[in-house]
Chains A and B, each alone.
Chain A
Amino acid sequence: DIQMTQSPSSVSASVGDRVTITCRASQGISTWLAWYQQKPGKAPKVLISAVFTLQSGVPPRFSGSGSGTDFTLTISSLQPEDFATYYCQQTKSFPPTFGQGTKVEIK
């Protein structure tokens, strides 16, 4: 199985801050990576597929980058509705595996 490791596990930030979350795969996955946002009590919502392709309706302040084993999700200017937990997922092969999550908290 491909293991996904996210860092940090949590980050405290203020509205307007730039936030970067990192995801590392245990083996190369090219650009087979997705990012999700999950708010308390809600199902995850896919933000980005194929490393940098924003899903419909996702604000452009979200962006993704990377390839191979190292990836990042960047929120360019944090908004109040962005406080949530974010997960990466490798989409290359079965079993699909998720990172452990990064909680973005209000500073």
Chain B
Amino acid sequence: QLQLQESGPGLVKPSETLSLTCTVSGDSISSGPYYWVWIRQPPGKGLEWIASIYHSGSSHYNPSHKGRVTISIDTAKNQFSLRLSSVTAADTAVYYCARDRRITGTTHWGQGTLVIVSS
């Protein structure tokens, strides 16, 4: 059974870099035609796609983050990661990692991790 688990600091200071890791278990991150994605939900707001990555390293980003985002993948560790630089209070959100496939949608999600940006 596929499981995803987010990990990383729950508190980040303004202007610093937010770093999160998603650990995948129950399947190889290199298997299948899947993209591995990061999605977030600010408090009281809706869902926002941040970035997607394939096991080959091919990545895609939401242009609204203006180059602040980097997604990476480590197939040896069965993990993928998110880095968001120059954070502000607007980056406070629950961050989800998930698996996505073209024809079936975003089928598997982590439970989410709350990241607060505050000094």
Query: Are the chains A and B members of one assembly?
Result: no
B-to-A contact residues, CB < 8 Å = none
